[in-house]
Amino acid sequence: MMNSGFDRRDFLKVLGWSGVAIALNGCGNTSVEDGKETVVSYVETNDYMIPSISTYFNSTCAQCDAGCNITGRIREGRVLKLEGNPDSAINRGKTCGLGQAGVQHHYNPDRVREPLLRKGGQGEAITWEKAYALIAEKLNGVSGEEIAFLTGGVSGHLKVLLGNYLDSFGCKNHFVYEAIAPAVLRAANKKSYGVEMPRFNINKAKVVLSFGADFLGAWVSPVHFSQQYAQFRKGVDGQRGVLIQVESKMTLTGANADRWVVVRPGTEGILALGIINALGTASGDIAAKVRGYDRALVSKETGVPPGQIDKIAALLKLRSPSLVLAGSAAEGYAHGSQNAAAINLLNHVLGNVGKTVEAAAVVPFPQMAPATGNTAALKTLNDGLNAGKYKVLFSYAANPVFTAPGAMKFKDSLAKAGFKVAFAHYLDETAMQADLVLPLDSALEDWGTQVPEYMAEGAQINIQQPLMEKLHANTRGMGDILLALIKLRRAEEYKKFDDYYAYLRTAVLQNKGALGGGVADDDTFWNETLSKGIIKLAGSSHALSGNAATAGLSLPAPAAINAQYPLHLIPSVSASLRDGRHTNQPWLQESPDPLTTIVWDSWVEIHPKKAAELRIAEGDIVEVTGKNGSIKAQAYLFPGIHPDAISVPLGRGHEALGRYARGYGVNPFQILDAVFDKETGELALHETRVKVSKTGQRVIVVKDEGFVGGKQMGKKIAVRVSSDKVELSEEV
Amino acid sequence: MHRFLRLSTLLIGLFAAVGSYAVDAPQPAPMTEDDLGPAIEQPIEFPHNRHAGLRNPNDPTNSDPLKGGMEIDCMYCHTYARRSAVAGIPPLQKCIGCHQSIASVRETPRIKKLFEYWDAKKAIPWKKVHDLPDFVRFSHERHIERFISQLNRPVQEVCGYCHGNVKEMTVARRSKSLAMGWCASCHQKDHPVTAEGGKPIGNQAYWYNFQKPAADTSGGAVKAQGPNDCWQCHK
């Protein structure tokens, strides 16, 4: 046939004919499924359930600890979208990207679905009865001191129940570990203001001077602060608020600031004292303390030009009230407490305490207040494990094998615990080391109460309720598991509660009066509470103790450059990935980093000058080596970083957790040095020193910003003026 | 031209075309001339005629199931149709709600099967009879509002525009093509904008295609076409 002259033209004709035939075929009702697809109707249903019409239920976001109140849109019995609850004082109807991804936590294909018992290298699915019996057997004859319970931040009734459970065998070893919680700041605030977490009124300030507090991105309660920030920008008395951000690596907040002041890593406290000195309004002890910090010295040590210091001081003098914030970048050093104390002192000197720093409302049930903690607690646990103290270890909502600093070798310590039980949503790095993994309901399937650490206005207790039926038959709520476990110890006391829901209902109704129930009958009050999703309380507040003492405040001179490891490693906390527990939600991997626009991978941020010096170009795979190992990632040239520092984002580099997390990027937690804050014993996250070397490989950086990057290509979109040429106080 | 019609060329074209069908198999049954859809076997052979069919005037007690229906309003069971875009299938509890007190048919095979599902609390896996491609958004609510509520047309007539004469079927079978041209053929008709006893309709609602409702020359009734923007259905 080919010989008979079937040429190119014929071929094209045939292609044309068959193409038409295929197209016609394709236009048929191929997506119509008459007689094939099953339509499943309800067996029984509520009147308000109408197919294709959404219903809405209020609950609480569990993606971070800020405690934003959410409203879930449910259609045909499935939760589709989460929005903010407009009645919430915390988030006022808004959510962040991390919160939006909550549905991907719920529908995640990598959730653990059965209780798993370790059998060699594998997990064998077992029944819950067997799992509970096994725990009872392992706890038999074990004293309270030999049991450890590691959790992330817990609050509300779950914390009470957990406390009671630990109490039932006299165990005091409850370790609370949140890898990136502001633990040093809490201690410093307690000293400076008398409370760990006061209320910051960004909206009432005319100037905000933030030392590395990324309050628009990942710091404390970012959705709440973002709204305050919007009010602050609209201005008090028509004066638009001015934001000055002092940090060594630009954060999202830094990118939004009017003035971004780059400071040598670790010298934030020195700059704060320098500003107090430049203000010249302090007297007594404080004046004596800051006398040495004249602008020449401060400028030399921090790298901030003297004129800049004067301008900041002039602006702060001109406009009152202002607000000074100490963020994680300032507290991440061995002298982090001192840094934070110096920065808080600035608030005292400026008279902001009581105006923009106020006492926060307190829930009148101290037993429900959030349990907080950081690496100091983990260190104690680690030491205990190394000493072989613990026969049974429980782990919930923490993933220390991933987040503990590499120098701690937590994975090895964990192997020394006798029997390890992990309550888990995913098989994360810690669950992979466990002997027994108990699968948890997602946050959208579970009951609970939560008390946020940062109280926005009045005190509030957040209600968490299921937005839909459970996806998997064999997952359990953490509360239900604890209740089942405590029934094994104190059957008499708890037998009246069928499940955690019954416990919760009883507990809330018992305190109906204190919770604002008034004279409403039980059912009405309970239904109203669930419908609102928030219990707002009158709540008292601890008065701030205006303690501006300078005793014990001493800041070291900036550390000399380490010849072997000349660069500071700044592990940056991204707004969407945080400590990496949610990395398996692909939306979060997919959403570009706000500053570099990179997706699905880690990167090493490096200043262009330093990169030129090291002959590094964008996309070069560089090796970042510290005392505790090395990581390899693509280089990204970024002018918003101190030339003596590099930055690698946290959250990626999982070896487990799930298909969207495993194998993407690197984990900087692994190479962190075990340097701790001298006062609080918390990990100094920014103290690791590294060197950078090229590996010779180069990749194309996958990012949204295009090949020219952040360069303006002569278009003058934003005017660039060197910051020491700007007359801050005149301009704004 | 003669080369184009050569047997080998045509054969290859035909082969490719048939092949493409084979690749896409299984196909829905091809449409018949009268637009009748495939006969679908359902888990329970639900007798629409018995429920919605007309009463037999010679049998006032309605005792003979073969001869007459009960004239139940379509929307008594398909209650979601007037409330939402999709008509939905009635929940099982709806069937049971009546049938638990109809002793006369309680032991018939279909009702026994119905109660088996109910006792097991299992949903009946009905097969879809009327389906549109995923890129078409059809709203039942909108059509019911227009024709039943505003024009005051009888329910069975209005449902029948698209679903055919269901009151004479047992298991429903598609009897209209539901293809786009078929939908458009109705949307291009002039429909009366008001009807006696119906709800009055605001003018602006029928200004689709920039067409102002105009008095019909013959009868004097104001008429307008149905919406005919692409995005009305292809959102």
Mean pLDDT of A327-350: 92
Return the pLDDT at B201: 57
Q: Is the pLDDT at A341 greater than 60, yes or no?
A: yes
A55 within a domain of the structure (yes/no): no
Q: Which two tokens stand for residue A489?
A: 């110890």
Q: Please give the residue of chain B at the shortest CA–CA distance from A20.
A: B17
Asked if A38 lies within 8 A of B38 by C-beta distance, the reply is no
Same domain, A170 and A218: no
Instruction: Name chain A contacts of B83, Cβ cutoff 8 Å.
Output: 50, 53
Question: pLDDT band at B186, cuts 50/70/90?
Answer: confident
Nearest to A37 among B17, B93, B128 (CB): B128
How far does chain A reach from its first CA to its final CA, in angstroms?
A: 83
What are the counts of helices (DSSP H) followed by strands (DSSP E) for chain B?
8, 4
Residue appearing with tokens 């209209």: B176
Closest C-alpha among B203, B90, B98, B81 to residue B145 = B81
Q: Which two tokens stand for residue B65?
A: 């199931």
Mean pLDDT of A255-274: 93
Nearest to A39 among B4, B12, B128 (CB): B128
Residue appearing with tokens 């930055």: A647
What CA–CA distance (Å, rounded) separates A427 from B188? Answer: 59
Q: Is the pLDDT at A702 greater than 80, yes or no?
A: yes
CATH number of the domain encompassing residue A268: 3.40.228.10
Between A474 and B205, whose confidence is greater?
A474
Asked if A14 lies within 8 A of B9 by C-beta distance, the reply is yes
Q: Between chain A and chain B, how many beta carbons pairs sit less than 8 Å apart?
A: 128
A260 phi/psi in degrees, rounded to 5: -105, 115
**Percentage of chain A surpassing pLDDT 70?**
92
Whether the bond between B90 and the residue before it is cis, its omega within 30 degrees of 0, is: no
Asked if A37 lies within 8 A of B127 by C-beta distance, the reply is yes
Average pLDDT over chain A reads 90
A309 phi/psi in degrees, rounded to 5: -60, -45
Distances, alpha carbon B179 to alpha carbons A10, A29, A348, B165, in Å = 35, 9, 74, 18
Distance from CA of A48 to the nearest CA of B (A): 11
Query: What is the tens place of the pLDDT at every residue in A585-637?
Result: 999 999 999 999 999 999 999 999 999 999 999 999 999 999 999 999 999 99
Distance from CA of A57 to the nearest CA of B (A): 20
R_g (Cα) of chain A, nearest Å: 28
Question: What is the CB neighbour count within 10 angstroms for residue A25?
Answer: 16
Q: Please give the residue of chain A at the shortest CA–CA distance from B2.
A: A10
What CA–CA distance (Å, rounded) separates A53 from B79? Answer: 13
Return the pLDDT at A385: 95
Q: Is the pLDDT at A262 greater than 70, yes or no?
A: yes
What CA–CA distance (Å, rounded) separates A107 from A585? Answer: 9
Distance from CA of B124 to the nearest CA of A (A): 7
Same domain, A169 and A288: no
Nearest to A34 among B24, B121, B129 (CB): B129
Instruction: Name chain A contacts of B123, Cβ cutoff 8 Å.
Output: 40-43
Return the pLDDT at B199: 56
Q: Is the pLDDT at B28 greater than 80, yes or no?
A: no
DSSP per-residue codes, A579-642: TTTTTT-HHHHHSPPTTT-B-SS-EEEE-HHHHHHHT--TTEEEEEEETTEEEEEEEEE-SSB-
Asked if A35 lies within 8 A of B84 by C-beta distance, the reply is no
Q: Which two tokens stand for residue A531?
A: 């419908």
Query: What is the tens place of the pLDDT at every residue in B71-91?
Result: 899 999 999 999 999 888 899
Mean pLDDT of A535-541: 80
DSSP per-residue codes, A526-586: HHHHHHH-EEEE--EEPPP------TT---PPPPPPPSSS-EEEEEEPPTTTTTTTTTT-H
Q: Identify from B40, B100, B128, B137 which residue to disrupt to test chain A contact, counting A C-beta atoms within 10 A and taking the largest count.
A: B128
Quick one: how far is CA A668 from the chain centroid?
A: 16
A556 within a domain of the structure (yes/no): no
Asked if A52 lies within 8 A of B86 by C-beta distance, the reply is yes
Closest C-alpha among B169, B154, B206 to residue B42 = B169
Between A34 and A191, whose confidence is greater?
A191
Q: Is the pLDDT at B30 greater than 70, yes or no?
A: no
Q: Please give the residue of chain B at the shortest CA–CA distance from A32.
A: B133
Q: Identify from B18, B80, B171, B183 which residue to disrupt to test chain A contact, counting A C-beta atoms within 10 A and taking the largest count.
A: B80
* Secondary structure E strands in chain B: 125-127, 190-192, 214-215, 222-225
Mean pLDDT of A328-342: 91
In the three-class reduction of DSSP (H, G, I as helix; E, B as strand; rest coil), residue B127 is classed as: strand
A14 within a domain of the structure (yes/no): no
Instruction: Name chain B contacts of A37, Cβ cutoff 8 Å.
Output: 127-128, 131
Same domain, A338 and A395: no
What element of type H or E holds B7?
helix B7-24
Nearest to B12 among A14, A29, A44 (CB): A14
Same domain, A335 and A312: yes
Asked if B126 lies within 8 A of A44 by C-beta distance, the reply is no
A200: DSSP letter: E
Average pLDDT over chain B reads 77
In the three-class reduction of DSSP (H, G, I as helix; E, B as strand; rest coil), residue A143 is classed as: coil
Cβ neighbours of residue A337 closer than 8 Å, sequence gap 6 or more? A184, A187, A188, A331, A677, A678, A679, A680
Question: pLDDT band at A730, cuts 50/70/90?
Answer: low
What CA–CA distance (Å, rounded) separates A60 from B166? Answer: 47
A91 within a domain of the structure (yes/no): no
Distance from CA of B185 to the nearest CA of A (A): 19
How far does chain B reach from its first CA to its final CA, in angstroms?
A: 44
Asked if B80 lies within 8 A of A13 by C-beta distance, the reply is no
Burial letters A213-243, b for 16+ CB under 10 A, else e = bbbbbbbbbbbbbbbbbeebeeeeeeeebbb
In the three-class reduction of DSSP (H, G, I as helix; E, B as strand; rest coil), residue A326 is classed as: strand
A276 within a domain of the structure (yes/no): yes
Instruction: Name chain A contacts of B96, Cβ cutoff 8 Å.
Output: none
Instruction: Name chain A contacts of B86, Cβ cutoff 8 Å.
Output: 51-52
Q: Is the pLDDT at B65 greater than 80, yes or no?
A: no
Return the pLDDT at B31: 43
Instruction: Name chain A contacts of B16, Cβ cutoff 8 Å.
Output: 14, 17-18, 21-22
Q: Is the pLDDT at B173 greater than 90, yes or no?
A: no
Question: pLDDT band at B171, cuts 50/70/90?
Answer: confident
Question: What is the CB neighbour count within 10 angstroms for residue A337?
Answer: 24
Burial class, A164, CB count within 10 angstroms (exposed 0-12 / middle 13-18 / buried 19+): middle
Asked if B128 lies within 8 A of A42 by C-beta distance, the reply is no
What CA–CA distance (Å, rounded) separates A726 from A259? Answer: 9
Instruction: Name chain A contacts of B8, Cβ cutoff 8 Å.
Output: 1, 4, 6
Q: Which two tokens stand for residue A302?
A: 């921090």
Between B20 and A258, whose confidence is greater?
A258
Same domain, A529 and A652: no
Q: Please give the residue of chain A at the shortest CA–CA distance from B82.
A: A50
Query: What is the tens place of the pLDDT at every residue in B99-121?
Result: 999 888 889 999 999 999 999 99
Domain that holds residue A379: 116-176+365-540
A158 within a domain of the structure (yes/no): yes
What CA–CA distance (Å, rounded) separates A359 from A206? Answer: 19
Q: In chain B, what's the furthest Cα-to-Cα distance?
A: 76
Nearest to B91 among A6, A13, A42 (CB): A42
Q: Please give the residue of chain B at the shortest CA–CA distance from A75.
A: B84
What element of type H or E holds A222?
helix A222-234
Assess contact for A331 and A184: CB atoms under 8 A. yes
Same domain, A523 and A587: no
Distance from CA of A9 to the nearest CA of B (A): 9
Distance from CA of B191 to the nearest CA of A (A): 28
In sign, the C-alpha dihedral spanning A63, A69, A75, A76 is positive
Distances, alpha carbon A440 to alpha carbons A57, A66, A396, A427, B3, in Å = 21, 21, 10, 11, 70
Q: Is the pLDDT at B19 greater than 70, yes or no?
A: no
What CA–CA distance (Å, rounded) separates A391 from B160? Answer: 72
Quick one: how far is CA B132 from the chain centroid?
A: 11
Chosen domain end from A540, A559, A588: A540
Question: pLDDT band at B208, cuts 50/70/90?
Answer: very low
ipTM of the complex: 0.73
Q: Please give the residue of chain A at the shortest CA–CA distance from B91.
A: A42
Cβ neighbours of residue A444 closer than 8 Å, sequence gap 6 or more? A59, A72, A79, A102, A103, A105, A106, A466, A467, A468
Assess contact for A687 and A673: CB atoms under 8 A. yes
Return the pLDDT at A721: 67
Same domain, A507 and A390: yes
Burial letters A280-305, b for 16+ CB under 10 A, else e = eebeeebeebbeebebebbbebbbbb
A208 within a domain of the structure (yes/no): yes
Query: What is the tens place of the pLDDT at every residue in A361-393?
Result: 888 898 999 999 999 999 999 999 999 999 999
CATH number of the domain encompassing residue A583: 2.40.40.20
Mean pLDDT of A702-721: 72
Asked if B13 lies within 8 A of A33 by C-beta distance, the reply is no
Query: How many structural domains are present in chain A?
Result: 3
Return the pLDDT at A728: 53
Q: In chain A, what's the furthest Cα-to-Cα distance?
A: 107
Q: Which two tokens stand for residue A686?
A: 């920014």
Asked if B131 lies within 8 A of A34 by C-beta distance, the reply is yes
A156 within a domain of the structure (yes/no): yes
Same domain, A629 and A601: yes
Distance from CA of B123 to the nearest CA of A (A): 5
Return the pLDDT at B204: 42
Asked if A43 lies within 8 A of B91 by C-beta distance, the reply is yes
Q: Identify from A39, A44, A55 which residue to disrupt to test chain B contact, counting B C-beta atoms within 10 A and taking the largest count.
A: A39
Distance from CA of B97 to the nearest CA of A (A): 11
Instruction: Name chain B contacts of A4, Cβ cutoff 8 Å.
Output: 8
Closest C-alpha among A617, A145, A636, A183 to residue A387 = A145
Same domain, A329 and A379: no
Closest C-alpha among A326, A325, A316 to residue A351 = A316
Dihedral, CA of residue A56, residue A57, residue A61 and residue A66, to nearest 10: 100
CATH number of the domain encompassing residue A452: 3.40.50.740
Q: Which two tokens stand for residue A613?
A: 């010096």
Question: pLDDT band at B196, cuts 50/70/90?
Answer: low
Asked if A31 lies within 8 A of B135 by C-beta distance, the reply is yes
What CA–CA distance (Å, rounded) separates A686 from A504? Answer: 41
Nearest to B123 among A32, A40, A50 (CB): A40
Mean pLDDT of A80-97: 95
Same domain, A354 and A378: no
Nearest to A34 among B28, B117, B126 (CB): B28
Q: Which residues face A625 on adjacent strands?
A: A630, A691
B146: DSSP letter: I
Mean pLDDT of A546-552: 69
Distances, alpha carbon A677 to alpha carbons A257, A623, A683, in Å = 28, 27, 6
Return the pLDDT at B29: 41
Quick one: how far is CA A76 from the chain centroid?
A: 32
Instruction: Name chain B contacts of A10, Cβ cutoff 8 Å.
Output: 3-4, 9
Distance from CA of A590 to the nearest CA of B (A): 26
Q: Please give the residue of chain B at the shortest CA–CA distance from A50.
A: B80
Nearest to B84 among A10, A41, A52 (CB): A52
Nearest to B93 among A25, A28, A43 (CB): A43
Same domain, A397 and A294: no
Mean pLDDT of A132-154: 93
**Percentage of chain B surpassing pLDDT 70?**
69
Q: Please give the residue of chain B at the shortest CA–CA distance from A46.
A: B91
Output the CA angle A176-A179-A185, nearest 5 degrees. 85
**Percentage of chain A surpassing pLDDT 90?**
74
Nearest to B13 among A17, A51, A52 (CB): A17
Task: Output A232-235 pairs: Cβ under 8 A, ≥24 positions apart.
Answer: A232/A202, A232/A203, A232/A205, A232/A208, A235/A206
Q: Which two tokens stand for residue A279?
A: 């203000």
Question: pLDDT band at B38, cuts 50/70/90?
Answer: confident
Same domain, A375 and A510: yes
